[in-house]
Amino acid sequence: MVKNKSRALTVPRRYPEAFIDIAKAPARANRLIEQETHALKDDAAIVMNSDRLLVRKLPAITKTYGGLVLPDLGKSEAGYGVVIAAGQGRYNLAGQLIPLRIQAGAVVCFGKYAGTNCQVLGFGNQEGECVVLREEEVFYAVMTEAQAARIAALADPPVSVVSK
């Protein structure tokens, strides 16, 4: 015997801000995103979840290390980018937060097929090309020798630092 079917559809009064009215969702999206270009408006912000990183891809290389100019067919997609936004970290099985080691502003190297490509106009390069990565998909971060020495001194277990 069902007492009240409509009760399942009502919003609990204890946490009204946690629920979004589906009928108001398009209006909310129009306040945050330009309708024609899908660019973020000036007062919009991106908040990354768990151990995700939003990385703006660097442009493809045009010259080799030796100075040879690459033709358009020889250019490969860049595996480097700058972290624009980082999540807070992830929780382990005991419920403890494991914070991210990579923060916004870091230059990182990642695999050719890593992450999920997305367009975030206003944050990416001219085309808005960004990639959403998990922290474990990043091979390494490029930083100054002083920053690397500071991280190596605090790391437990020890990490090795490679410099040119």
pLDDT digits (tens, 9 = 90+) for 66-79: 777 777 665 667 68
H helices of the chain, in order, are: 25-32, 145-154
Domain boundaries, the chain: 48-154
Q: Which of 124, 151, 150, 141 is nearest to 55 (CA)?
A: 124
Provide the sign of the torsion angle of the four alpha carbons 124, 130, 133, 139, taken in this order: negative
Burial class (CB in 10 A: 0-12, 13-18, 19+), 100: buried
Pick the CATH number of 48-154 from 2.40.50.180, 2.30.33.40, 2.60.120.260, 3.40.50.300: 2.30.33.40
- Compute the distance between CA of residue 32 and CA of residue 39 in angstroms, rounded to an integer: 9
Residue 152 is encoded by which pair of tokens? 């190596």
pTM of the model: 0.69
Residue 144: pLDDT band by 50, 70, 90 thresholds?
confident
pLDDT over 80 at 22, yes or no: no
How large a percentage of the chain has pLDDT more than 70?
78
